[in-house]
Structure 1
Amino acid sequence: MSDQAEKLRNRIKRQMNGNPSKTIAIISGKGGVGKSNFALNFSISLSKHQKKVLLFDLDIGMGNIDLLLGKSAEKTIANFFTDECSLDEIIQKTDYIDYIAGGFGLNHVIKLSGGRVDNLLLELGHIVYEYDYLIFDIGAGITDELVQLLSSIENIVVVVTPEPTSIMDAYSTMKIISLHVPTVKFFLLGNRMKNEKENKQVMKRLQTVMNSFLNKDSVIIGFLPEDSSISLAVKKQIPFILYKPNSFASKQVQLITSFFLTANTFISIENERNFIEKLKHFLIRK
């Protein structure tokens, strides 16, 4: 009870100070591009700057956050959707971040229906003042319900690898989101790149297509290399930013973290208030 009371006090204090969570979604056009690994290490990097972070694994039934942490969550997002648990009840704690597991090996498929998204947005409205950052790890594939959720998130990081299929799928995903949310901001992150030169070549190509066909600007925020420390960390089920904090990959994540901590042009209190207003909009739209 004392923990719950302290949580409520902190939530009210942040709400009175007008400090809602900043929201960032991590997406990709296809699976297997290292999106969850980046989301986890980015979240931990934010926490090292004294930020309170909740990482939300929305790759339902195929979640990787547990595996990457070497943990097994007692409750997952499946319990929220099927057992009427609150988000507070399914939040898992670590030394660095809190997280909500996506679950894997489920006995049945859980779809994000409109009603379930409404319930999720309502619960998010309850905890939005409790954290500095809400990071959403979004599963591959875009549905109407996911677009609805992404519509309330101001900043979207798109993870892209050099493979042509990854580039085209990323473009297709951004096109669908842009058609529904014209004001969305995209931040491009390369993964498994040989070097900065390759990253620029791939991202410039993607930016050119977006400008030509969508009339949409985007921001390149960096890249992660092909780094043996990443694969070793995955095998050991330790986030690479903790396993090898001085590796090139870890330093790249730190640079990306610094960008989001200082880029007030892209992430502002005004924009994050829009997140809350959009939550209210979806909840009363019917």
Structure 2
Amino acid sequence: MMNDQARNLRARVRGERFNRKAAQTIAVISGKGGVGKSNIALNLSIMLSQHRKKVLLFDLDIGMGNIDILVGNQARYTIADYFLNDIPFEQIIQNGPEGLKYIAGGSGLEGAISLDNDRVNQLLDHIHTFFYDYDYFIFDMGAGISEDLVLFLSSVQDIIVVVTPEPTSIMDAYSAMKILTINDAHSNFHLLGNRMKNEKESNAVLMRLQKAVYQFLQKDSNLIGFLPEDSIISTAVKRQIPFVLLNPKSYAAKQINIITQVFLSTNLNESKIKNNTSFIEKLKIVLFRK
């Protein structure tokens, strides 16, 4: 049955969808946990949706995800159900606020699910089927960079690296970028500060990291903004309401809107059309080698 389903999906992909523009792929990562990565991924996704973009947010912190918690919704199915119980991919796509679609990571499992090659290939197969239905695919990754996810992340066009002022966060972010660079990732790195006192502190932290990445890895990276240490963010988490909806006029919401504009930029998107082939071609290799 699974083979028939995969065959039908590939047939669908080979059809009318190749005539449509592919989604832009963005991964949100951090070198360590607890830096607010999921909150940023969620609020960025909602802000893009508010700009009338079709967004699918993936919580890929499988077994330990919290996107559904942050939106105050109990997902009927999660990506854990997809892998463990063979729930069809389209059934794990949930409705979020402001027209956002999302896939919950699942929580409360006895152990995290490893994304080995077979599982990554299966996931990419189904992702490709929906690749032309959305403007953005946003992947909220688990903390750190596992060996299993290097190939996946190397296919993504844009990677947002979330960094806090703590030295451990900065070093772990550098390590994550180093692993991806060594493994020939052609993604664009975007550095985003979180829990910063102000813009001055954010620039100091991010520029130091940017300089190290360029000097030792010969890799460019962009500074795209920061989020402050704002009480509205912690309040929003407690109330399970995304902060851009709880208080759209807050400083945090205004800052996430500035970051959103980077990915709505005409020039950026035009340049990404040429680079779309990186993610798409790697998906094709997975699909058509079977």
Give TM-score, length-normalised by structure 1.
0.92
In structure 1, the residue matched to 2:73 is 71
* Residue 185 of structure 1, CA deviation: 1.1
Counterparts of residues 1-286 of structure 1 (less than 5 Å): 15=17, 17-96=19-98, 97-262=100-265, 264-265=267-268, 268-283=272-287
In structure 2, the residue matched to 1:3 is none
Could you report, residue by residue, the CA deviation over 1:40-65 in whole angstroms, capped at 9, with x for unpaired residues?
00000000110011000001111110
Percent identity, aligned pairs only? 57
Q: Would the aligned equivalents of 1:186 and 1:218 in 2 still touch at CA under 8 Å? A: yes
Query: Please, which moves more after superposition, 239-248 or 254-263?
Result: 254-263
Q: Structure 1 CA distance, aligned partners of 2:111 and 2:219? A: 38
Q: Structure 2 CA distance, aligned partners of 1:235 and 1:92? A: 21
SS at 1:221 equivalent: strand
Q: Structure 1 CA distance, aligned partners of 2:51 and 2:277? A: 22
Q: Would the aligned equivalents of 2:82 and 2:88 in 1 still touch at CA under 8 Å? A: yes
* Residue 109 of structure 1, CA deviation: 3.3
Closer/same/farther in 2, CA of residues 16 and 212 from structure 1, 3 Å limit: closer
Q: Structure 2 CA distance, aligned partners of 1:138 and 1:282? A: 21
Q: Structure 1 CA distance, aligned partners of 2:186 and 2:205? A: 24
Give 5+ residue unaligned stretches, structure 1. 1-10
Q: Structure 1 CA distance, aligned partners of 2:182 and 2:218? A: 11
Q: Structure 1 CA distance, aligned partners of 2:289 and 2:188? A: 24
Moved runs in structure 1, 4+ residues, more than 4 A?
11-14, 283-286
Closer/same/farther in 2, CA of residues 159 and 76 from structure 1, 3 Å limit: same
Q: Would the aligned equivalents of 1:14 and 1:129 in 2 still touch at CA under 8 Å? A: no
Give TM-score, length-normalised by structure 2.
0.91
* Residue 108 of structure 1, CA deviation: 3.9
Could you report, residue by residue, the CA deviation over 1:124-160 in whole angstroms, capped at 9, with x for unpaired residues?
1101011111000000121222011112111100000
- Paired residues in the alignment total 277
Q: Structure 2 CA distance, aligned partners of 1:239 and 1:19? A: 29
SS at 1:85 equivalent: coil
Letter in 2 for 1:83: N
SS at 2:81 equivalent: helix
Closer/same/farther in 2, CA of residues 236 and 170 from structure 1, 3 Å limit: same
Closer/same/farther in 2, CA of residues 210 and 184 from structure 1, 3 Å limit: same
Q: Structure 1 CA distance, aligned partners of 2:257 and 2:108? A: 33
Q: Would the aligned equivalents of 1:14 and 1:20 in 2 still touch at CA under 8 Å? A: no
Q: Structure 2 CA distance, aligned partners of 1:35 and 1:14? A: 35
* Residue 16 of structure 1, CA deviation: 5.4
Q: Would the aligned equivalents of 1:175 and 1:214 in 2 still touch at CA under 8 Å? A: yes
* Residue 280 of structure 1, CA deviation: 1.5
Q: Would the aligned equivalents of 2:114 and 2:148 in 1 still touch at CA under 8 Å? A: no
Closer/same/farther in 2, CA of residues 14 and 205 from structure 1, 3 Å limit: farther
Q: Structure 1 CA distance, aligned partners of 2:15 and 2:247? A: 37
RMSD of aligned alpha carbons: 2.0
Q: Structure 2 CA distance, aligned partners of 1:122 and 1:17? A: 18
Give 5+ residue unaligned stretches, structure 2. 1-12
Closer/same/farther in 2, CA of residues 106 and 55 from structure 1, 3 Å limit: same
